[in-house]
Structure 1
Amino acid sequence: MGYRARVSHRLLDVRPLRVTSFRRLWVGTSAAALGGQVTAVAVLYQVWEMTGSPVWTGAVGLVRAVPLVVLGLLGGALADAVDRRSLVRWTILAQVLTALGLAAQALADVDSLAVLLLLVAAQASFGALGASAQRTFPVRLLGRRLVAAGIAIQHLSFQVAMLLGPALAGVVLGRWGLTAAYLLQAVAFLAALYAVLLLPAMPPTGPGSGRGPRAVLEGIRYVTRSPVLRGLYVTDLVATLLAMPIALFPVINEQRFGGSPETLGLFLSAVAVGGMAAGLISGAVTRSDRPGVVQLWAAGVWGGALAVFGLVGPLWLALASLAVAGAADTVSVVARGAAVQLATPDSHRGRVTSVEHVIGVAGPEVGNFRAGLVAGATTAAFAATSGGLACLAGIVLVAALNRSLREFRISRDIADDAGS
């Protein structure tokens, strides 16, 4: 392999964008992600303007999180029982209507916290119902070899939205106000809806799974019986529950770097920049035949980098360790997402993906809570370092005990290892 070929092999694999249906979907969902970030800032701004209370601004996260967890599992069961394109189409349409509702209440100056939070909860609920089905699209639209690359491209656009969305929200709110911010999200959802309408039908491929609690429990049982899936999710939980650092940023910033808000912003930006950099050079990762091994290494690097963050003094070294952690997180997310999709038969993919969705929502929140408790009982530095080291030890243990995860390969047919 020549030098140019080796470099190209390591850069972001853009081959999925040659598939017209995936390219349209990527553009639409990227627009929706950017609009979602704008709306998130707008809602916080409006709640603060109404109440002046940090308790109520914090309650916005709870209003979103509860339906994401509860209805996310139900959405997984629906994704295995109905046409996935239709499910996502209707849930996105409902999100368009809730965005218009948010714009209407802002334009009419309703000034009702209950109405605002109800609309936020409704939008989160519809998003949760369609999230699992939408996550299964890459494996239907792309060949097995391109699934990881497709997930990497989607994750990169989400990180760009995370980085640019709040800044865009500030400009829109400052110049045109709340109504314009919410209308921007409605237009973004329309772009996503257009892309989904042009997708091929995606009916269930297996026997009917049902749509209620029994179907949800069947999906959870499938995860617990599969060594590969169990290993993927346990690895993610070890990383988030034991080493999530966000809650420690304000304290460490205050104790080591003078409490400057600019420095606090650099902490968050460093994680995002590291993640984006990893996304741009993710070719070697997405072409790997062993995503389970990749996720284990990435989770170990995440833990090690955060242990270093808890110990170092110079600001540049703290930011560098956070950038490494952000890069490792991106690699882990891409590898896990590909492995989950490819280790699961299509008949169960919606429900298995919903478990991943719930873990992704709940794990970081609980991990931040753990970090805060440990910091309160000891110090923030100890909480960061001990959490990182505990994560590293946990990953080593998972790698030693789960041979199926270590040996899982994309090149093999889907291994129905449930019950093995």
Structure 2
Amino acid sequence: MNQVSDHHNGGTRRSWLIDLTPLRVSAAYRRLWWGQLLSGIGSSMTAVVVSVQVYQLTESSFAVGMVGFCALTPLLAVGLLGGAIIDSVDRRRLAFLTGLILVAVSLGFVAQAVIAPTQLWLLYALIVVQNAFFALESPTLRAIVPALMATDKLAAAAALSMFSFQISILLGPILAGFVIDRLGLGVAYLIDAITFAIAAYAAWRLPHLPSATDGTQPSFAGVIDGIRFLKSKSLLLMPLLLDINGMLFGMPRALFPALAATHFTGGAASVGLLYAAPAMGGIIGAFVSGPLTRSRRHGLALLIATVIWGLASALFAVSDILWIGIFFLALAGAADMATGVFRATILQTQAPGALMGRISAAAFVVGVGGPWLGDIESGIAAELTTPVFAAVLGGIACVVGVVMLHFWRPDFARYDASMAARAQG
């Protein structure tokens, strides 16, 4: 009797934990996942190292801010056109080629740190080139996943991807500070090159993935076709609109320094805790994501998770006790992780194979641009009012936005993934 009970309890515990099945059943996906995890940590390290080097050179916050401009501009410019390229070529070859180029660019960072560490223009140029090719690599890898995984395991794969992403944005900055202090800038950049090399190897080991468009050449017309398709399919458009809504209004990270100093009356350590809290919540949420990956009502779940994100962001600023604020930020991070799982699952299961690259690229552009727009929105709102009011108002606006989108497309909440899978079968 006790043995039966123990087995039942063990199964119940496992059902709450992250589903590792995609890593077990697909060697190609397993290599790809490890490559993305390590390259994500390397990229997060480089983002910090670049900022540190720019500030050491200039002692100017404006110059550091230009790093973001140099990174965001090519990401947005290449992102959508990159989707048409992804759909027109062998995705394995494209992932491998972009991976090799990113290795070369990272070695360029190493060379400038050793040979020309005072040339700010060279550092900016390397950032532009790196992010231009990253805007090709990342959507390519996203578009590859559905070819490696059964449809009913895509939600579990999405949870694993969010888990690796949250780990990378948490560990990357920590490792960057450690390596810079003890080994120098050049070694930090070299680690990034090594992680990109591992990711390129994982891409090289992928199976052959021929063009989904019968060799059609990429063009702006193809990009427009993808945008038109998105506009005509509310099931694909709604996850992107919900993401924009959540990031634009419910992303208070630009307010963390001001809130730490004036609202929570803390110092630099408090700022660090505020920035780390959403990632910690995301990691915990991904670790116990078993129920999420078995959910069928992805539309309703995405709406609810976005509401939780907005409410938690608002409640974070209401409290003037640091640890309570951190709890709500962690809750927001867990909700953000859930939205990522449901958004990726809907897009990967419902986008046609011939348009998977363009849909993945659109999601990439939204995911990259949304947080930056959120920083701008919250910064302007705080300048006109106060940081606390801006954070609370943004969270409430996020919830209102979800309600408005629901009334615009009420059928989205009724979407059932199991019915869609049966229809496809």
> TM-score, normalising length from structure 1?
0.95
Q: Which residue of 2 aligns with 1:15?
A: 21
One-letter amino acid matched to 1:369: I
Q: Which residue of 1 aligns with 2:192?
A: 185
Output the CA distance in 2 between the equivalents of 1:57 and 1:416. 51
Output the CA distance in 1 between the equivalents of 2:248 and 2:116. 41
Paired residue secondary structure (1:313): coil
Verify the 8 A CA contact 2:263 2:388 in the aligned structure 1.
Answer: no
Q: Which residue of 2 aligns with 1:29?
A: 36
For residues 159-178 of structure 1, the aligned pairs below 5 Å read 159-178=166-185
Provide the aligned C-alpha RMSD in A: 1.8
Output the CA distance in 1 between the equivalents of 2:136 and 2:168. 22
1:158 to 162, 165, 179: 165
Q: Give the superposition deviation at 1:138.
A: 1.7
2:10 to 4, 20, 23: 4
Unaligned runs of 5+ in 1: none
Q: Which residue of 2 aligns with 1:296?
A: 303
Shift in alpha-carbon separation, 1:246–1:283, aligned structure 2, 3 A: same
Q: Which residue of 2 aligns with 1:281?
A: 288
Structure 1 window deviating more from structure 2 (102-111 vs 131-140): it is: 102-111
The answer to whether residue 269 in structure 2 is matched with residue 245 in structure 1 is: no
Paired residue secondary structure (1:80): helix
Output the CA distance in 2 between the equivalents of 1:316 and 1:51. 35
Q: Give the superposition deviation at 1:210.
A: 3.4
Q: Give the superposition deviation at 1:240.
A: 1.2
For residues 77-226 of structure 1, the aligned pairs below 5 Å read 77-226=84-233
The answer to whether residue 353 in structure 2 is matched with residue 342 in structure 1 is: no
Output the CA distance in 2 between the equivalents of 1:416 and 1:86. 32
The answer to whether residue 393 in structure 2 is matched with residue 393 in structure 1 is: no
Output the CA distance in 2 between the equivalents of 1:318 and 1:41. 25
Verify the 8 A CA contact 1:250 1:259 in the aligned structure 2.
Answer: no
One-letter amino acid matched to 1:178: L
1:312 to 308, 316, 319: 319
One-letter amino acid matched to 1:372: G
1:52 to 59, 74, 81: 59
Output the CA distance in 2 between the equivalents of 1:3 and 1:229. 38
Paired residue secondary structure (2:296): coil
One-letter amino acid matched to 2:202: A
Output the CA distance in 1 between the equivalents of 2:220 and 2:423. 23
> TM-score, normalising length from structure 2?
0.94
Q: Give the superposition deviation at 1:400.
A: 3.1
Unaligned runs of 5+ in 2: 1-6
Q: Give the superposition deviation at 1:214.
A: 0.8
Output the CA distance in 2 between the equivalents of 1:287 and 1:100. 42
The answer to whether residue 385 in structure 2 is matched with residue 378 in structure 1 is: yes
The answer to whether residue 366 in structure 2 is matched with residue 353 in structure 1 is: no
For residues 317-336 of structure 1, the aligned pairs below 5 Å read 317-336=324-343
Verify the 8 A CA contact 1:344 1:416 in the aligned structure 2.
Answer: no
Output the CA distance in 1 between the equivalents of 2:231 and 2:413. 17
